[in-house]
Structure formats: structure tokens, C-alpha cells
Chains A and B, each alone.
Chain A
Amino acid sequence: MAAKPRVATCSLTGCFGCHMSLLDIDERIIDLIGLVDFDKSPIDDIKSFTGPVDVGIIEGGVSNDENVEVLRSFREHCGVLVAVGECALTGGVPSMRNLVPLKECLEEAYLKGPTLVGGAIPNDPEIPLLLDRVYPCHEVVRIDYMLPGCPPSADVLWTALAALLKGEEPKLGYELIKYD
């Protein structure tokens, strides 16, 4: 028997809603587990790639240097890279900060907040550095397919994943393309 296709997932600057939506495929999740093996993913808590992966699923936009590193490593390891959800596709809700300069954002949050006493902008080297703005994934690496939605419904994820595992292009009907 040929080895099962390997799938990796990650959440960059998102809310994990897209991962929740994946769990929302109900009993089809049993089929899914029969069809694929999960590599690096919060679902099985594997922290780093064990080898090449067939399908990579990216949730969330790119807001800091760690996001860039993770996204680039997904591009390197995954044959097909799928951006999932509004944050990955457009920056989404986190990218509302793009309308305010980063310095002002940080000052408002850590120095000027009405409940703050003696605030300071965090600068621990362990904390990923924020980028000037939140970028959609396709502005950082090549993305093969995009699944819109906030989050994409379980049917969107299932339809697309089922097609990809058969080596077909995911085709979404009218009711499956939604931006909210």
C-alpha cells in the first residue's frame, strides 16, 4: 500500500477559527484520518517537519518575523500550499492595524492606555519582532490555492481537501465562496 498523503497545518496571525472549522467537518473527520497523515500541525502537536509534505494549510496572515519563517518553511516542505481564511488571504481583522502606524499602535497599547501605570513596550529577544504591517500570505511566498471565508465553512475545507487529495484542482461553487 502506498504511503498516505501527508498534511501539515499552521496558524500564523489568526484566531484558530479556521482550524476549528476543519474540526467542524463532523464525522467526515474519521474519513480524513483514514485518508491522510498529519505532519507538523497544532492538531497533533508535531513542532517541526519530519520530511516533505503533500499539502500545507496556512491559516492567518503574516504580522511578525516568526510568521515569515514558518511560512517560508511551509513553502519549502509542502508540494501544494493552500492559504485558508480571510487573514491568510487579505490580512483580515489583524490587518486593521495597517491603518495606524506601528509605533502608534505599540504606544497606544503599552504606554498610553488609560489603565496603564509605568508601561513599557516589550522588547524581549524571545518575542517575535512585529512587521511594519500585516501581509497576506501571497505577498510573502507563492500560494497555490486560496480558500476564502471567515472562517471557510467545513464544507469548503472538505470539498477542497478532498479534491487536492485526488490530485484535482479545488473548485468552489457559488455558495462556498464567502468572505465572512
Chain B
Amino acid sequence: MKKFTFVLNGRDVEALEGQSILEAADGAGVYIPRLCYHKDLLPGGHCRVCSVKVNGKVANACTMPAADWMVVDTDTEELNEYRRLIIELLFVEGNHFCPICEKSGDCELQALAYKFGMTAPLWPTLSKNPPVDASHPDVFIDRNRCVLCGRCVRASRERDGKSVFGLEGRGIRTRIALDSLDGLGMTALGRNDAAATICPTGSLVLKRVGFTTPYGARAYDKAPIGSEIEKKEE
């Protein structure tokens, strides 16, 4: 594959043809915050947390291919303020009770809020109350904690070949739909499916494995999300 260089945060970095800005940045040890992106899936471009400035214009780092004419900034005060706002709005759009959630400490939404120093969301909550679907023997879906990243949708389609999940509705009424009207238990979702464990929050969770990791040993207890990418550079 053809190699080329582009400017990332003021220095020349190498990228391969076809790589997105986000992939090229990962390779160069520069972490761009992201939520709906997952390295094993096609990029969705849903959450906009990975927004960067490309020659002064805001663009999605996960869907925009890198190119040799680009001058990209990923870590400006303005961009981080956008990101913090997106995270804060996701917190008040759902019902995120961190103290009682089994995903707490391993949750990517929470980890991003930690990274941006959010003490508490200051917007009024939307107070939607979607019911929990626990009809599946091994997995439950709690849409109170869903951030509509679409990872389960993509994982089920691309990795599991099943298309158990989909997005339905528009705007504020968008929600994760199932391919059965009789609940998660009547879908083809299996415990070992990629879709069952790819959720960044506690919305789609395996049963009977919660709260096993002690406080202090969970993914984001000690180091911020993205540290593993930034470490690669050294």
C-alpha cells in the first residue's frame, strides 16, 4: 500500500492509503477520543466525539480518509469543549446511574467524562424511561443506558452475520430495535456473539458477570481512556 505523510498536531506523520485519520493517528500514537468507533467494525460516524479540524474545518476522524494535503488538529480547547458537551448531553439523554451499574469502571462513556473532567452533567435530564428487556437467558438490554452508538448493530451484521439489532425512529425518538417483536430472548443473539459484549456502556450486558472486578482494577480506574494508544509512541 502507498505510504504518504500528512500534518497531525503540527508534526509530519506517516499514513497508508485508505486509512482514516483516526487509524493513522492511532498508528502515530495520537489518541483521538471516540465512542461509537470500534477497531473491529466499520466506522459508523454516529457520535461525533472523534471530530477533528481538517484544514480548519470540523470533520469525523473515523470516517474521513487521511490525505497528503491535510493539516489535522485533534486536541484543541474548542474540540475538547465540543466533545465534553456531547458526552454531557448523552448523560442527561439517558438514565446513567453509575453507582449501581455493573459497567461502571469499564464504561467508555464514563471514561470519556472522566477524561474531560466532568464532575456532573449540568443539563436537566430528559427523563425517558424505556423498559429493560431481560428475556434472553444470557444477555439483557437496558435502553436507559444506550447512547445509540450502533456498535451492536454493526457487530451483529458484520461479525456475527445475524443482524439482530437495528436503529429505528428519528431524532430524539431513535432507539435500538430487535429483529423480533417478542424481545431479546426470541432473537438469534448468542452469548458468544461479538454483539453481546461490544457495547461501550452498560446497555447490552452479559448476565451473571457483573461486579466481578474489584474497584481499582477496572479498565479506567487508574489511567484515562486512550492511554494505551498514547503509550505506543514512546
A interface residues with partner B (beta carbon < 8 Å)? 83, 86, 89-90, 92-93, 95-96, 98-100, 133, 136, 138-139, 146-148, 150, 172, 174-175, 177-180
Contacts and interface: CB of A to CB of B under 8 A. Distances in A.
Interface size class on chain B is 20 to 34
Contacts of A175: 221-222
A150 B110 CA distance: 14
Contacts of A133: 127
Contacts of A146: 119-120
A126 B129 CA distance: 32
Nearest to B129: A99
A101 to B, nearest CB: 10
Interface string B87-106: 00000000101111100110
Given A174-B114, A175-B222, A179-B110, A89 B99 contact: no
Interface in B109-162: 110, 113-115, 117-122, 124-125, 127, 129, 144
A90 B120 contact: yes
A180 to B, nearest CB: 4
B224 interface: yes
A148 B97 CA distance: 13
A137 to B, nearest CB: 10
Nearest to B131: A99
Contacts of A93: 97, 99-100
A180 B99 contact: yes
A99 B119 CA distance: 23
A89 B114 contact: no
Contacts of B115: 174
A93 B96 CA distance: 10
Contact of A96 (B97, B104, B221, B222): B97
A136 B121 CA distance: 10
Contacts of A148: 119-120
B104 A179 contact: yes
Contacts of B110: 179
Contacts of A172: 117, 119
